[in-house]
Structure 1
């Protein structure tokens, strides 16, 4: 597994990266976006959607959990984007002995997303924010994108909204490593 780190100094750089990655995806792909609040996950998703030719606004689906949007892959074929925000999943009500992954999978099933995540359709791309807890169980082949915010350098060294984000791409399975190498090559 080869990871690649890319600097994104401005919001437009994050959108351009999202757009570039949209040009190498195809149906059945699963992409996980992770990083702290305010890191730029939704900004990345906006560029990703733009690259798929989606004209609807790309907003964080935090309260709706998932949004389904239609667009086109880079080759012009139909693309079905499912943009999931798992931040609000996995509440505190667990069945006795149930682990967090089991709880999250149950919630995804109740939303009708478990099958899409387990076996995305031939024209479907899953873009999931905050899904670190469950994604390995659902998608052994995936691209993980982690966005780090810079720290303010103060005593508590808190994340700041200023400065360059570092985006780390980690391919898992399939031909993701080759696609990422071609992207940055």
Structure 2
């Protein structure tokens, strides 16, 4: 694993991730620190590596099926296990199309997002995940305030390198900068543990 700590502020880690295999390894590392009831928000531009990280997380949880982009299904549920061996369901959600259009000025956007989640049967799962569930939500940053107050936010940034043409479609090549931000007291010790693993 070639992860490098490039920023270390209170409550967050910033990592340089040079290859897609390292992004998968990072997903596995995060999986090893998850507890039942956790909510993980995963964001970044198209081609940043969200699905690659999600695949590593799924592998780390030993899920019973492939982790693919849930774009066309909105949500998929896979069965796996936590690091301590307890069974867990991974609910993988793509929120890209949720709450994106048709807002009226002054409208309660959080309420509307929750209404959309309720119509999909996901509202209770996301607001209060059970101890046998881990929720991984891509494109979920716009509804962070509507989710549990204890969560891990993973932001993948893909800085353009000098020789890359920003008008060309993204590729899997190139270093990514990944920020892991713990929200809530339950993530303080776990981020410290992640930091030690990366520094080792």
TM-score, shorter chain, exceeding 0.5: yes
1:114 and 2:123 correspond: yes
State how far apart, in whole Å, the 2-side matches of 1:80 and 1:55 are.
10
1:4 and 2:13 correspond: yes
Q: Who is 2:82 aligned against?
A: 73
Say what the alpha-carbon RMSD is for the aligned residues: 2.0
Structure 1 gap ranges (5+): none
- Any idea what SS the aligned residue of 1:83 has? strand
Contact 2:11 2:191 in 1 (8 A): no
Q: Who is 1:17 aligned against?
A: 26
Contact 2:160 2:166 in 1 (8 A): yes
1:99 and 2:108 correspond: yes
- Note the alpha carbon deviations across 1:92-137, whole angstroms, 9 max, x for none: 2446752332222111010011101111011100000001111222
How far does residue 180 in structure 1 lie from its aligned partner after superposition?
1.2
CA separation of 1:155 and 1:80: change in aligned 2, threshold 3 A: closer
CA separation of 1:155 and 1:62: change in aligned 2, threshold 3 A: closer
State how far apart, in whole Å, the 1-side matches of 2:102 and 2:157 are.
30
With 75-84 and 152-161 compared, the bigger mean Cα shift is at 152-161
CA separation of 1:156 and 1:103: change in aligned 2, threshold 3 A: farther
State how far apart, in whole Å, the 2-side matches of 1:83 and 1:113 are.
11
State how far apart, in whole Å, the 1-side matches of 2:82 and 2:12 are.
24
Q: Who is 1:39 aligned against?
A: 48
CA separation of 1:27 and 1:155: change in aligned 2, threshold 3 A: closer
1:51 and 2:60 correspond: yes
State how far apart, in whole Å, the 1-side matches of 2:128 and 2:42 are.
19
Contact 2:23 2:52 in 1 (8 A): yes
Structure 2 gap ranges (5+): 1-9
How far does residue 50 in structure 1 lie from its aligned partner after superposition?
0.2
State how far apart, in whole Å, the 2-side matches of 1:83 and 1:139 are.
16
Contact 1:118 1:138 in 2 (8 A): yes
Q: Who is 1:146 aligned against?
A: 155
Q: Who is 2:190 aligned against?
A: 179
Q: Who is 2:6 aligned against?
A: none
Q: Who is 1:169 aligned against?
A: 180
Q: Who is 2:5 aligned against?
A: none
